[in-house]
Amino acid sequence: MVSSGRSIEGHVTYVRDGNTIEVAYVPVRIAKLDCAESGSMAGNRATKRMHACALGNGTVQIERQEIV
């Protein structure tokens, strides 16, 4: 894992739900991505889609930005 104050780089190690993943075991919530809650049909679909997009796709780099 590579980490600075503004970015983190590593493998997605866990998908919590449709808009929260863990990169190198560090939780990352994707801002401005609104998903239904896990346990609902829509939330389960969102989580499944995030699994398909995020897991097993090599290294990711997340840039932290301030939300204004």
Question: In 3D, which of 16, 50, 19 has the Cα closest to residue 36?
Answer: 19
Dump pLDDT digits (tens) for 27-36: 999 888 899 9
Dump pLDDT digits (tens) for 40-54: 999 999 999 999 988
- List, in sequence order, every beta strand (DSSP E) within 1-68: 2-3, 7-17, 20-23, 26-29, 59-63
Q: Cα–Cα distances in Å, from 41 out to 15, 21, 37, 46, 52?
A: 17, 19, 9, 9, 17
Per domain, the residue ranges of the chain are 2-60
Range of 2-11, 28-37, 51-60 with top mean pLDDT: 28-37
**Measured distance CA(68)–CA(61) in Å, rounded:** 22
